[in-house]
Chain A
Amino acid sequence: MEMDLRNLQGYANIFMTIFLVVMLYWYIIHLYRSEKKGVRDYEKYGNIALDDSVTSTPVEDKPASQREYKEENK
């Protein structure tokens, strides 16, 4: 029984490693694909840090309707 558990954990480990590799490289492919297809440009998010005044235009605007607070303090 104990050996079973150890084996099981061992297999879980190997499975996890493979799973991690697949997920990670799938993610790489996903990132490049979305950029190629024009779904999303990841590199533009880098600009969030550069242009970060409170008044500057968001890279992706969150519509006011989605904002969870009411503009109360003017």
Chain B
Amino acid sequence: MQSNAALEYDYSLAKKFTFLTILFGILGMVVGTLIAAQMAFPELNYLLGEYGTFSRLRPVHTNTVVFGFTVSGIFATWFYLGQRVLKVSIAESKFLMVIGNIQFWLYFVVALAATVSLLFGVSSSKEYAQYEWPFDLGVVVVWVLWGIGMMGLIGIRREKALYISVWYYLACFLGVAMLYLFNNMAIPTYFATEGLGSILHSVSMYSGTNDALVQWWYGHNAVAFGFTVPIVGMIYYFLPKESGQAIYSYKLSLLSFWGLMFVYLWAGSHHLLWSTVPDWMQTMGSAFSVVLILPSWGSAINMLLTMKGEWNQLTDNPLIKFMVLASTFYMLSTIEGPIQAIRSVNAIAHFTDWIPGHVHDGTLGWVTFMIMAAIFHMSPRMFKREIYSKKLMEAQFWLQTVAVVLYFTSMWIAGITQGMMWRAVDEYGNLMYSFIDTVTVLHPYYTIRALSGVMYLTGFIMFAYNIYKTMTSGRVLTEEPQFRTPMA
């Protein structure tokens, strides 16, 4: 293939999405930290009039970190590693470049507009699917464009075998597409009448218990295919690449993959334990949640074992540290979730802060750590400059690690405490605590959580600064580093 001698990977799209990842990351985490602080200090609800209340901002936070930060991160890493593991440059096809750029701009507009719409209370109130129908359509188009781009790139690949990361990105694409479509089925009321009322409003195709089932089939698996699958795909590429160690066991990664695909979808009903969905379905949700520990841990163990005998890398490469810690938090959250899904434990855990605590093990400790590590790895290759500061990276690592630990321990105690207080009866057999008692008792934990939010956000800003300085004033690299990321 003589003609490929001068061929290079094209990182323009990866770069663009990296910028968005950082932008949405900061936005989402600022809002997250604010709403965490509001739980401890309610006066903070009044900073922005009606737009600043906890209730308005919470969906802004969740949707910005899910559909802004994480999805950007998925796109950024796909446009980087997709080319590399398929051994084909996206620039080899003008078509794919055009599609990719349309995807980028459309995504940027839709994500921003949708976030603003939530601020104004335009919401369908289904968790993590709050966007109203026009924004849903936008999301679908973006997603389809990504799918076309992905299939196109796979079509022109030079490497015949699909590396395991590609499997995971494919699953991410397919899973999210299916779930998002079915869950967001709605009828716009404006068009179902003679143009009465708001054009943005719609009603769900499903009602009551059915709506709940579809919603949590989606809600749980949006986590599966948005927060687990693509992130696993990332670590399967970036950890081996950064460390120069092949995956410990490729077979284990295949097994974990199919295990995850089979089992994950069944577990959605564990969000509806003790509700009005049929009993057997709840039981199944519980049972499969526990089974789910194993395919999840398969990936995590595979990653940790990839680094076996490589202690020196762990101690002197902060990037490896990020990824090893991410794997560990992945283990924590993938055993915590299933145990919270056991009926009896769920009776306490559901509706309490233990659940946000659990979610943030995954999102802060696993998703964000991994995405940041990926960007740290990609930056020197994309910008052809050394990472600006290793010291800053180390400091950021420790600050954020402490933040995640504070977050999950405080919410762990808060949740168990509140769940048990709700159940507690006094010596006469009457409820021991009024509801407000179970709120005021949480103040110290909410304060700690707010503090952990500030710490984590600070770490993320350090990260953004480090990347910015890398782009602008890192030492110029003459050739692309093979494995370990160079840093000053």
Tell me if A15 is interfacial: C-beta within 8 Å of chain B: no
Once the chains bind, are B263 and A20 in contact (CB under 8 Å)? yes
Tell me if A65 is interfacial: C-beta within 8 Å of chain B: no
Q: Tell me which residues from 41 to 74 in chain A have a Cβ below 8 Å from any Cβ of chain B.
A: 42-50, 52-56, 58-62, 64, 66-69, 71, 73-74
Once the chains bind, are A68 and B156 in contact (CB under 8 Å)? yes
Once the chains bind, are A73 and B94 in contact (CB under 8 Å)? yes
Of A28, A49, A67, A69, the contact of B247 (CB 8 Å cutoff): A49
Once the chains bind, are B159 and A46 in contact (CB under 8 Å)? no
From A27, A28, A46, residue with most partner B Cβ within 10 Å:
A46
**Chain-A contact segment, one of B181-189, B237-245, B323-331:** B237-245
Once the chains bind, are A20 and B262 in contact (CB under 8 Å)? yes
Once the chains bind, are A50 and B240 in contact (CB under 8 Å)? yes
Once the chains bind, are B158 and A43 in contact (CB under 8 Å)? no
Q: Tell me which residues from 10 to 37 in chain A have a Cβ below 8 Å from any Cβ of chain B.
A: 10, 13, 20, 23-24, 27-28, 31-32, 35
Binary interface encoding of chain B residues 86-109 relative to chain A, with 1 for a CB under 8 A from any of its CBs, else 0: 011101111000000000000000
Interface bin, chain B: 35 or more
Once the chains bind, are A24 and B255 in contact (CB under 8 Å)? yes
Once the chains bind, are A49 and B163 in contact (CB under 8 Å)? yes
Q: Which residues of A contact B263 (CB under 8 A)?
A: 20
Chain B proximity of A68: nearest CB distance (Å): 4
Once the chains bind, are A58 and B255 in contact (CB under 8 Å)? no
Of A24, A42, A44, A74, the contact of B3 (CB 8 Å cutoff): A74
Chain B proximity of A30: nearest CB distance (Å): 10
**Chain-A contact segment, one of B5-13, B308-316, B447-455:** B5-13
Of B7, B249, B251, the contact of A54 (CB 8 Å cutoff): B7
A53 to B1, CA, bound (A): 14
B287: nearest chain-A partner, CB-CB: A17
Q: Which residues of B contact A13 (CB under 8 A)?
A: 280, 284
A53 to B320, CA, bound (A): 21
Once the chains bind, are B284 and A54 in contact (CB under 8 Å)? no
Tell me if B84 is interfacial: C-beta within 8 Å of chain A: yes
Q: Tell me which residues from 135 to 182 in chain B have a Cβ below 8 Å from any Cβ of chain A.
A: 155-161, 163-165
Chain A proximity of B453: nearest CB distance (Å): 34
Q: Which residues of B contact A27 (CB under 8 A)?
A: 254-255, 258
Once the chains bind, are A50 and B250 in contact (CB under 8 Å)? no
Once the chains bind, are A50 and B241 in contact (CB under 8 Å)? yes
Q: Which residues of A contact B84 (CB under 8 A)?
A: 49, 52, 54
Q: Tell me which residues from 361 to 390 in chain B have a Cβ below 8 Å from any Cβ of chain A.
A: none
Once the chains bind, are B94 and A50 in contact (CB under 8 Å)? no
Q: Which residues of B contact A20 (CB under 8 A)?
A: 262-263
Once the chains bind, are B4 and A46 in contact (CB under 8 Å)? no
Given A49-B165, A49-B240, residue A69 in contact with residue B155 (CB < 8 A): yes
Of B7, B94, B160, B244, the contact of A55 (CB 8 Å cutoff): B7
Once the chains bind, are B87 and A56 in contact (CB under 8 Å)? yes
Of A31, A43, A49, A54, the contact of B236 (CB 8 Å cutoff): A49
Once the chains bind, are A46 and B161 in contact (CB under 8 Å)? no
Binary interface encoding of chain B residues 240-276 relative to chain A, with 1 for a CB under 8 A from any of its CBs, else 0: 1100101101110011001100110000000000000
Q: Which residues of A contact B236 (CB under 8 A)?
A: 49
A65 to B480, CA, bound (A): 31
Once the chains bind, are A62 and B85 in contact (CB under 8 Å)? no
Q: A48-B163, A52-B85, A54-B87 are in contact. List 4 more A-B contacts (CB 8 A).
A: A9-B281, A45-B163, A49-B240, A69-B92
Question: Which B residues have a C-beta under 8 Å from some C-beta of A?
Answer: 1, 3-5, 7-9, 83-85, 87-89, 91-94, 155-161, 163-165, 236-237, 240-241, 244, 246-247, 249-251, 254-255, 258-259, 262-263, 278, 280-281, 284, 480, 483
Q: Which 9 A-B pairs have the closest CB atoms?
A: A46-B246, A62-B160, A60-B160, A52-B84, A58-B159, A48-B163, A46-B247, A68-B155, A60-B161
16 A-B residue pairs with Cβ-Cβ distance under 8 Å, sorted by A, are A6-B280, A10-B280, A24-B262, A43-B246, A43-B251, A46-B246, A46-B247, A48-B161, A49-B237, A49-B241, A53-B87, A54-B4, A54-B87, A60-B161, A69-B93, A73-B91
